[in-house]
């Protein structure tokens, strides 16, 4: 099967990236990771990717002070050079400018730890607990200009228990993220 070359963009530990690495290792999975990129040269996920034999690249945003677009132009050039067709943001902690978003419109996915449109932004687990919600989850969506907006591709739900802490809830959601992202990407690619 022809595997679509994708890039995974991370800023930290990269457990979702790892779930995508495992999925892409399957012969029948429709994507291959051609590049793992980070804005943070110290992201632990970069080492995970290297150990998996993947090409990695760090483009430190601190080298582009007050120039988000300049940083994104460097990212975009690296993506083009690697022949990337689809981007998966996986814990990429930079807000993107309209420059990169428009360049990759309809071809950039993100995973977010809430049932969007509920709780865009940070601290989603604590916010769901504070609100007294009984259900929480995660969302894979296409990236548009608004933060954590954009058409929803797929969601997974988990129950909230009475004794949950933000940490216990985060780990229940994360387990689902690792199933959801590969499934959503595969489904997305089958429709493109």
By CB under 6 A, residue 13 contacts ligand GRF: yes
Subset of residues 95 to 124 that bind ligand GRF, contact rule: CB under 6 A: 111-113
Q: Which residues, at least 6 apart from 26, have a Cβ–Cβ distance to it below 8 Å?
A: none
The tokens of 43 are what? 């992201």
Rounded to a whole number of angstroms, the minimum distance from the CB of residue 1 to ligand GRF is 26
Alpha carbon distance 152, 39 (integer Å): 25
Subset of residues 114 to 173 that bind ligand GRF, contact rule: CB under 6 A: 138
Q: How many residues interact with ligand GRF (rule CB under 6 A)? A: 15
By CB under 6 A, residue 182 contacts ligand GRF: no
Rounded to a whole number of angstroms, the minimum distance from the CB of residue 18 to ligand GRF is 8
Query: Hey, how many other C-beta atoms are within 10 angstroms of the C-beta on 102?
Result: 11
**CB nearer to ligand GRF: pick between 3 and 13:** 13
The alpha carbon dihedral of 31, 34, 36, 39 has a sign of negative
Subset of residues 21 to 50 that bind ligand GRF, contact rule: CB under 6 A: 45
By CB under 6 A, residue 90 contacts ligand GRF: yes
Please, are residues 182 and 29 in contact by the beta-carbon 8 Å criterion?
Answer: yes
Q: Reply yes or no on whether 112 is catalytic.
A: yes
Rounded to a whole number of angstroms, the minimum distance from the CB of residue 72 to ligand GRF is 18
Query: Hey, how many other C-beta atoms are within 10 angstroms of the C-beta on 70?
Result: 14
Of 140, 144, 164, 162, the closest CA to residue 153 belongs to: 140
| Chain residues that interact with ligand GRF, rule: CB under 6 A | 10, 12-16, 45, 90-91, 111-113, 138, 174, 177
Catalytic positions are: 112
């Amino acid at each position: 099967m022809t595997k679509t070359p994708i890039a995974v963009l991370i800023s930290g530990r990269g457990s979702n990236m790892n779930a995508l690495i495992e999925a892409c290792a399957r012969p029948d999975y429709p994507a291959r990771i051609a590049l793992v990129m980070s804005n943070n040269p110290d992201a632990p996920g970069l080492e995970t990717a290297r150990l998996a034999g993947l090409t990695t690249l760090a483009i430190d945003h601190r080298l582009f002070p007050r120039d988000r677009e300049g940083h994104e132009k460097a990212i975009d050039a690296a993506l083009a050079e690697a022949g990337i067709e689809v981007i998966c943001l996986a814990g990429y902690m930079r807000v993107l400018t309209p420059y990169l978003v428009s360049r990759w419109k309809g071809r950039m996915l993100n995973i977010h730890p809430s049932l969007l449109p509920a709780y865009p932004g940070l601290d989603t687990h604590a916010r769901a607990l504070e609100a007294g919600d009984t259900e929480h989850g995660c969302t894979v969506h296409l990236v548009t200009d608004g933060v954590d907006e954009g058409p929803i591709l797929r969601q997974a739900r988990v129950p909230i228990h009475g004794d949950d802490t933000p940490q216990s809830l985060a780990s229940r959601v994360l387990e689902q993220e690792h199933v959801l992202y590969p499934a959503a990407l595969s489904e997305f690619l089958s429709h493109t």
